[in-house]
């Protein structure tokens, strides 16, 4: 249940990059992950040998492209423990997945006044589509708050869930690193008669995921955060929910028939995949999940846990309280996303100075403005890990932060 990270690093071409005279110290996997050679090769082979449009072709390469595309669906289904590949719908990113959920499932099942519960910890991807649905269809939104321990405040959960149709919440905060108690939320949501949608954009990339035991009804995530390419995301749902979800985007491939009077939608995942799908991207994502499975997600999680423990420890003890961690201070129910508030140095400047050391950390609100407001911050500087991250990079981060502090004192 562990792997040689030095060997693994050689799979990632970007780690050979030198920036500002320093080897790249990539600590922004929370924004997007690095891409291993095997994923790039899978896409290159696809384009060089098999590329064709899918589904409607009879000839050899069209059959191969279809096989590659549907094979990727099966790979992803296996990776998350889905009951069937048909439960996996490809979108362009996790954000589209939430829009599909809100607009297609949402408009079919929610009417004016119906309650959806979200959380203050959530990413805009799991907030804005619901605001849009509120504005167009008059649904009511309620919010779980975040407590001073950077956890979801569950004290009023039953109250919030009272009469609610859906709870939609992240499994791991992309700002705090907080891992939320999905099993418990599922149980209580279901007890209250609500369904549970989970934002897995962070969790699926870093923790083992098994939808058979997760308890969720819907799960959204993005390829580019889990070693896959840009341009592809996933919405998983239980078959019974897909069966009651109308189409979202309209166009070719999602129809059973079209006349000048109207259209009949197709069934299966095709129903939600209008137009030419992200074929090469699916192939890349398939390669990514196979790569992750070959390492083992348990091993990835264990590796990142160790690294997070080391980082929390070093960050807590190197700066005389001048660097504050915005998030849980131990690895309990926590992933490798570490937001920093550096005394007297704005996150933009932190990132700028760190860049001089080749260190990549992201400044900003991380698309979680309500959460930032909750903690009275406009922005943080966020370091986040991937399966390829190593303790030496934490050391480089600490040294670079020291430089930033000096420069701005």
Partner 1 sequence: MTQMPPLNDLYREIVMDHYRTPRNRGELPTPPAQRADGHNPLCGDEISVYVLINGDVIEDIKLTGHGCSISQASSSMMSAAVKGRSLEQTRELVARFKELMTSETADSSDQALRELGEIAALSGVSKFPVRIKCATLAWNTLTQALDDAPQQG
Shorter beta-carbon distance to its own copies: residue 40 or 74? 40
Q: Are 343 and 322 in contact (CB under 8 A)?
A: yes
Distance CA 41, CA 51 (A): 14
Q: Which residues in 255-274 contact its own copies (CB under 8 A)?
A: 255, 257-260, 262-263, 274
370 makes contact with its own copies (CB under 8 A): yes
Minimum CB distance to ligand PLP, residue 28 (Å) = 11
Q: Which residues in 377-396 contact partner 1 (CB under 8 A)?
A: 378-379
Judged by beta carbon distances under 5 to 8 A according to partner kind, the member of partner 1, its own copies, ligand PLP, none in contact with residue 202 is ligand PLP
Minimum CB distance to its own copies, residue 1 (Å) = 29
3-state secondary structure 188-229: HHHHCCCEEEEECCCHHHHCCCCHHHHCCCEEEEEHHHCCCC
191 makes contact with partner 1 (CB under 8 A): no
Q: Are 219 and 200 in contact (CB under 8 A)?
A: yes
Separation of CA 128 from chain center: 16
276 makes contact with its own copies (CB under 8 A): yes
178 has which bridge partners?
Answer: 334
Judged by beta carbon distances under 5 to 8 A according to partner kind, the member of partner 1, ligand PLP, its own copies, none in contact with residue 170 is ligand PLP
266 makes contact with partner 1 (CB under 8 A): yes
Length of the chain: 409
Distance CA 72, CA 75 (A): 5
Shorter beta-carbon distance to partner 1: residue 255 or 309? 255
276 makes contact with partner 1 (CB under 8 A): no
Burial readout 358-391 (b: 16 or more C-beta within 10 A, e: otherwise): bbbbbbbbbbbebbbebbebebbbbbbbbbbbbe
127 makes contact with its own copies (CB under 8 A): yes
Minimum CB distance to ligand PLP, residue 7 (Å) = 28
Distance CA 43, CA 37 (A): 10
Minimum CB distance to ligand PLP, residue 219 (Å) = 12
Fill in the DSSP letter of residue 180. Answer: P
Shorter beta-carbon distance to partner 1: residue 328 or 363? 363
Q: How many residues bind its own copies (CB under 8 A)?
A: 94
Distance CA 355, CA 18 (A): 11
Minimum CB distance to its own copies, residue 213 (Å) = 28
User: Which of 193, 275, 344, 391 touches ligand PLP (CB under 6 A)?
Assistant: 275
Q: Are 335 and 206 in contact (CB under 8 A)?
A: yes
Whether 367 sits among the annotated catalytic residues: the reply is: yes
Stretch that binds ligand PLP, among 6-14, 35-43, 93-101, 356-364 (CB under 6 A): 93-101
Please pick, among 68, 72, 115, 367, the residue that the annotation labels catalytic.
367
Distance CA 3, CA 72 (A): 25
- Among 233, 195, 193, 187, smallest CA distance to 213 is for 187
User: Which of 25, 33, 119, 202 touches ligand PLP (CB under 6 A)?
Assistant: 202
* CA distances, 248 to each of 140, 149, 194, 254, 326 (Å): 22, 39, 22, 9, 38
Q: Which residues in 282-341 contact ligand PLP (CB under 6 A)?
A: none
- Among 102, 232, 110, 230, smallest CA distance to 164 is for 110
Phi-psi region for residue 159, left (φ > 0), alpha (ψ -120 to 50) or beta?
A: alpha
Judged by beta carbon distances under 5 to 8 A according to partner kind, the member of ligand PLP, partner 1, its own copies, none in contact with residue 66 is partner 1
Judged by beta carbon distances under 5 to 8 A according to partner kind, the member of ligand PLP, its own copies, partner 1, none in contact with residue 67 is partner 1
Fill in the DSSP letter of residue 245. Answer: -
Longest dimension (CA), the chain: 71
62 makes contact with partner 1 (CB under 8 A): yes
Stretch that binds partner 1, among 102-110, 134-142, 157-165, 250-258 (CB under 8 A): 250-258
Residues found near ligand PLP in the complex (CB under 6 A): 93-95, 123, 125, 170, 174, 199, 201-202, 222, 224, 233, 252, 275-276, 367
Active site residues: 367
């Amino acid at each position: 249940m562990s792997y040689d990270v030095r060997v693994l690093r050689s799979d990632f071409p970007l780690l050979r990059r030198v920036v500002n005279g320093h080897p790249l110290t990539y600590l922004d996997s929370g924004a997007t992950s690095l891409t291993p050679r095997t994923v790039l090769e899978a896409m290159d082979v696809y384009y060089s040998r098999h590329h064709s449009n899918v589904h409607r072709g009879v000839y050899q390469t069209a059959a191969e492209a279809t096989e590659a595309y549907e094979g990727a669906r099966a790979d992803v289904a296996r990776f998350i423990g889905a009951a069937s590949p048909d439960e996996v719908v490809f979108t362009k990113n996790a954000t589209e997945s939430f829009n599909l959920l809100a607009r297609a499932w949402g408009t079919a099942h929610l009417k004016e006044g119906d309650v959806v519960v979200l959380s203050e910890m959530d990413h805009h991807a799991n907030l804005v589509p619901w605001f849009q649905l509120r504005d167009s269809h008059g649904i009511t939104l309620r919010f779980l708050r975040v407590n001073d321990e950077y956890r979801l405040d569950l004290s009023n959960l039953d109250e919030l869930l009272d009469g609610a149709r859906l709870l939609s919440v992240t499994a791991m905060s992309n700002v705090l690193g907080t891992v939320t108690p999905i099993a418990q939320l599922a149980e209580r949501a279901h007890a209250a008669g609500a369904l549970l949608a989970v934002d897995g954009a962070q969790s699926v990339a870093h923790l083992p995921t098994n939808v058979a035991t997760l308890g969720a009804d819907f799960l959204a995530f993005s390829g580019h955060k889990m070693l896959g390419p840009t341009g592809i995301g996933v919405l998983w749902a239980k078959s019974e929910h897909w069966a009651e979800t109308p189409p979202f985007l309209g166009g070719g491939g999602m129809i059973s028939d079209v006349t000048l009077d109207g259209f009949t939608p197709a069934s299966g995942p095709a129903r939600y995949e209008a137009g030419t799908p992200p074929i090469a991207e699916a192939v890349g994502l398939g390669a990514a999940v196979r790569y992750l499975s070959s390492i083992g997600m348990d091993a990835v999680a264990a590796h990142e846990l160790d690294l997070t423990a080391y980082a929390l420890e070093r960050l807590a003890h190197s700066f005389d309280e001048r660097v504050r961690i915005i998030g849980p201070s131990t690895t309990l129910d926590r992933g490798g996303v570490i937001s920093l508030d550096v005394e007297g140095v704005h996150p933009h400047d932190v990132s700028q100075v760190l860049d001089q050391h080749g260190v990549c950390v992201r400044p900003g609100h991380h698309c979680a403005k309500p959460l930032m407001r909750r903690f009275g911050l406009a922005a943080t500087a966020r370091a986040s890990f991937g399966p390829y991250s190593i303790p030496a990079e934490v050391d480089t981060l600490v040294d670079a932060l020291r430089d930033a502090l000096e420069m701005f004192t």
